[in-house]
Every structure is written in structure tokens, then in C-alpha cells.
Amino acid sequence: MTFTEPAIQKLLESIAFDANGLVAAIAQRHETGEVLMLAWMNADAVRETLETGRVTYWSRSRQALWRKGETSGHVQTLRNIRIDCDGDALLLGVDQIGAACHTNRPNCFFREVDADGLATISAPMAG
């Protein structure tokens, strides 16, 4: 899914970017509702995502645009994009190829609190 310039402008105007010029972005698997990851976008990442239909984040560690899947092939294709009531979070409906997590797990939330501490609840994907 790609978007027109007026729609991109309207979204950018509605985002309350933080002091670092970033907004939180939650990626959710469109078909199942599985929450895949939380990452960050700057205005350029938002624009590129909406123009290309492929999800691009801002890497805070590398201080550069992070075209998800560019090296791994684990791209996220945009299905829809929502913004929250106060404009400081985005919710992306995506199709995820392969693993969302750099650990090769389906999603980044693979540790769950249990009675003893943290349990690992999913294994790395094959291939």
C-alpha cells in the first residue's frame, strides 16, 4: 500500500515528534494481530514508508534510515497505518516476510515473565 502526497502531508502534520524528531512505531502482523516489534521513525522514514509501501525505520544506534529487510530480506510490506489520539505513536499493519526479529524469531517479544523470571517462548525460525 502506498499513499498520495496529501495523505503523507496530513499524517506528518498530525505526528507529535519527540525532542529527537522521532515517533514510536508498532508493527503488527496484518492477518493475525501478532505484535512484531516496536521501533522508531523520523519524518523521512514515515515519508519513505508511505511512498514505497515498504516499512523504513530510523535506527537510533546507527543514526540512519533502516530499510527493514534490506540485508536480511525480511521486509515488511505496509497494509495500513494508524496514529494514536495524541499523535506520538503509529500502528503499522504489515505483511512480514520471514522473521521480524534480528534473533530470527517471528517477533521481538519472545521473552515472557513467569513465576521464576523470564521464559523464552519462541525459537529462531528455520532458514
Interface residues with a copy of itself (CB under 8 A) are 3-4, 6-7, 9-11, 14, 24, 26, 28, 32-35, 37-38, 50, 80-86, 88-89, 91, 101-103, 105, 108-118, 121
- Could you tell me the smallest distance in angstroms from the CB atom of residue 67 to a copy of itself? 19
CA distance 55 to 37: 12
Nearer to a copy of itself, 34 or 95 (CB): 34
Question: Please, how many CA atoms are within 13 Å of residue 102, restricted to the half-sphere of its CB?
Answer: 6
Residue placing its CB nearer to a copy of itself in the complex, 10 or 70: 10
**Under 8 Å CB-to-CB from 108, ≥6 apart: which residues?**
36, 37, 38, 100, 101
3-state class (DSSP) for residue 52: helix
Question: How do beta strands 118-120 and 111-113 pair?
Answer: antiparallel
